[in-house]
Amino acid sequence: MSWHIQFSIGPVQSFVAQARRTRDLWAGSYLLSFLTAHAMAGARRAGANVVAPRVEDDPLLAWVENRGQGKPPRFGSLPNQFTVEVPEGQEPRRVAEEARKEFYEAWQKVCKAVWEYLRKRVHSLNGQAEQIWRRQIDGFWEFLWVAGQRNESGLLARRKLWRTHWPPDEPGDKCVLMPDFQELSGYVRAIDREGQNAFWEQVRSSLPVAELDEEDRLCAIALVKRLFPLVSQEALGWDVGVRHWPSTADVAALPWVEKVLEQASELANEYAAEVKSAAQDNPQTGGASRLLLRGKGSEHEFAKIDAYWFHQAYLANPKLIKLKDESRRRSLQEQLAKIVDRVGESPSIYFAVLLADGDRLGEVIRRYGGEKVSAALAYFTSKVSEIVENFNGATVYAGGDDLLALLPLAKALECAKRLRNAYDEAFRYTRCDFQELGLPTLSAAVVLAHARSPLKLILAEAHRLLDEVAKEENGRDSLAVGIFREHTPAAQWVSTWQRTGADNQLYCAVDTVEKLASQIKTGEFKAFIYSLAETLGRLCGLPNNRIGRFAKLPNGFRLEEFVRGQLERAAIHRMPGSVSESVEALASLIDRILRRSRQDELNRRSSFIGLDGLTVASFIATGGLEGEHWR
């Protein structure tokens, strides 16, 4: 009799999502995939075969098992849960223990490399700090496994209810990144503030510039995430080459950087030289050029500058942009203004987080079998990175049906649409008959967020939009889009990927929003959209704080005719250079965006409307520029 062993490694959210920087987010995801690869490798060496997910072509597992060729993988691709099949005659416990052993040995190797790096440079790593380090490193992970028959389901879920892992108590002041854990110095700030400050100042000064911010007081786990790229050769066995990961501001400004390099290269050269000469610290992170730009621009000095140098508001702030000589600030501002004048626009300070997840995958696996589904998901995963890169994005994680990516604001929705199409293609590729359940679907969330918003809050909002809005409220196979201003949501629009128009034809939701955004070119049309939203809000009783709300149209109210009348009244079609669509086409476009589109309403026109689609279209049209959004 053969056995199936299901493995689960956690905690996931506290390790991955608790991040202050984009590199923290990438690091947590990458390390978890790396450790999962070691657990898989241990099980395989003990004679088992990984049956879910499909890993024959996984680049990270190949590198861990010393079969990698070319460049090492740049992002995580393995989930924290997997299943292996143990051949008849093999002892399941031995396979599980080998997997567990490989996992913990890999974790200890990573942590030892980071500790030795710190110990050689930081004299204040006293016995108390080492004691905290060991307690947190040794007690963090929960490694679960269950063995059962091939088709036996529910075992892992039942095992998770049996709590046997209790992390040690964490006294004292807490980590600013992972607040359930004590920061490493061990000092209590209320009693010995100077001692705590001195400890972290010594750590900070011993590291490369900008590895730790002034307020960063981290626990052992957070330090491992933050610093392992510095010692990746010792920690992982290869150099991951991501000392500089693109910041949120880098991602946001990328389309503008490309435009500058195309239209104002001589001004870009002058500005890059001036910045390098005037900056107090190294202004060139290299993040955007290394991972996001394609072609000749990737090596341009201008593209390597930290993106905050491209914004007048930040350039004017001495606390954010530090210069050797304050008298040079005016000159920098004037040079930047020339670049903006030349290209006709300022860079966006908003970027996008894209989170996607397959719908009802467990049901699909039970109906069609894990092997075919795993083959489809492996095909999908192999396409994700290329698609995201084509839209100048950075893939943080892509494994199975899950993915997380960072993208420029203007390209995020189109990228989401392309990924959804690739998911469809992946399951068509398996040539399964999906008539009974229908073709497996993908839901996604896109958060358009300010670059200086806390990353933890943005990720939490993305998960909320995906799980609660796109999947639960809208019935799955949906896209939820949110705007996140500083610390709070400012809009929430959700739709099925396909929408029904007045002619009962299906339209792509993304195409509809982007087509309206392309029409919002002048202040007059933006003002019209705002006025229309206010009028409809009053007619339908939508409150001012209407984020994510839908309301029923009054009985007998003909929405498209009303919109057409408002357009004609505003004489939109006579505005020079404002819109290229006819009044009838614009009215139809706006009608489709306003109406609610859920799975249970896809084949009939909804009498409920929401106004957030207009907000999203207007926001995309302005590029997220400060002061341009209208709610």
Residues 451, 352: contact at Cβ < 8 Å?
A: no
Residues 64, 34: contact at Cβ < 8 Å?
A: yes
Q: Please report the beta strands in 273-416, taking only residues with DSSP state E, as ranges in sequence order.
A: 350-358, 394-399, 402-408
pLDDT score, position 541:
87
pLDDT score, position 545:
72
Model confidence at 151, in pLDDT bands (50, 70, 90)? low
How far apart are the C-alpha atoms of 69 and 575, rounded to whole Å?
58
Write down all domains in the chain, each with its CATH number in brackets: 3-236 (3.30.70.2220), 248-338 (no CATH), 348-496 (3.30.70.270), 507-631 (no CATH)
Burial (Cβ within 10 Å: 0-12, 13-18, ≥19) of residue 534: middle
Residues 551, 541: contact at Cβ < 8 Å?
A: yes
pLDDT exceeds 50 at position 631 = no
pLDDT exceeds 50 at position 628 = no
pLDDT exceeds 50 at position 630 = no
pLDDT exceeds 70 at position 288 = no
Q: pLDDT digits over 342-386, tens only?
A: 999 999 999 999 999 999 887 887 777 777 788 888 889 989 999
pLDDT exceeds 70 at position 341 = yes
Residue with tokens 């900070």: 204
Q: pLDDT digits over 433-458, tens only?
A: 665 667 889 999 999 999 989 999 99
Structure tokens at 245: 């990961």
Residues 264, 343: contact at Cβ < 8 Å?
A: yes
The number of beta carbons lying within 10 Å of the beta carbon of residue 156 is: 17
- Percent share of the chain, pLDDT over 70: 91
Could you write out the DSSP letters of every residue in 8-45? EEE--HHHHT--SSHHHHHHHHHHHHHHHHHHHHHHHH
pLDDT score, position 297:
56
Of 26-35, 544-553, 558-567, 576-585, the least confident: 576-585
pLDDT score, position 304:
86
Model confidence at 260, in pLDDT bands (50, 70, 90)? very high
pTM for the predicted model, two decimal places: 0.91
pLDDT score, position 519:
85
Q: For residue 208, say if its preceding peptide bond is cis, omega within 30 degrees of 0.
A: no
Residues 599, 474: contact at Cβ < 8 Å?
A: yes
pLDDT exceeds 80 at position 426 = yes
Region label for 582, one of left (φ > 0), alpha (ψ between -120 and 50) or beta (otherwise): beta
**85-94: b (≥16 Cβ within 10 Å) or e:** bbeeeeebee
Distances (CA, A) of 108 to 35, 60, 186, 219, 373: 10, 19, 22, 16, 34
Model confidence at 286, in pLDDT bands (50, 70, 90)? low
Model confidence at 629, in pLDDT bands (50, 70, 90)? very low
Structure tokens at 546: 């209407």
How far apart are the C-alpha atoms of 466 and 394, rounded to whole Å?
20
pLDDT exceeds 80 at position 429 = no
**49-70: b (≥16 Cβ within 10 Å) or e:** ebbbbbbeebbbbbbbeeebee
Model confidence at 459, in pLDDT bands (50, 70, 90)? very high
Question: H-type helices in 46-161, by residue range?
Answer: 59-64, 92-119, 127-139, 155-161
How far apart are the C-alpha atoms of 466 and 481, rounded to whole Å?
9
Mean pLDDT, to the nearest integer, of 134-148? 94
How far apart are the C-alpha atoms of 2 and 28, rounded to whole Å?
34
Calculate the dihedral angle through the C-alpha atoms of 207, 211, 214, 217, rounding to the nearest 10 degrees: -90
The number of beta carbons lying within 10 Å of the beta carbon of residue 363 is: 11
How far apart are the C-alpha atoms of 166 and 120, rounded to whole Å?
32
Residue with tokens 């084949």: 603
The number of beta carbons lying within 10 Å of the beta carbon of residue 602 is: 16
Q: Which residues pair with 84 in a beta bridge?
A: 5, 50
Structure tokens at 123: 């004299």
How far apart are the C-alpha atoms of 221 and 411, rounded to whole Å?
34
pLDDT exceeds 50 at position 533 = yes
Could you write out the DSSP letters of every residue in 587-614? HHHHHHHHB---GGGTTS--SEE-SHHH
pLDDT score, position 627:
43
Q: For residue 53, say if its preceding peptide bond is cis, omega within 30 degrees of 0.
A: yes
pLDDT score, position 431:
63
How far apart are the C-alpha atoms of 25 and 15, rounded to whole Å?
9
Q: pLDDT digits over 21-76, tens only?
A: 899 999 999 999 999 999 999 999 999 999 888 888 888 998 898 766 667 888 89
Strands of 3-10's sheet, edge to edge? 49-52, 81-86, 3-10, 142-148
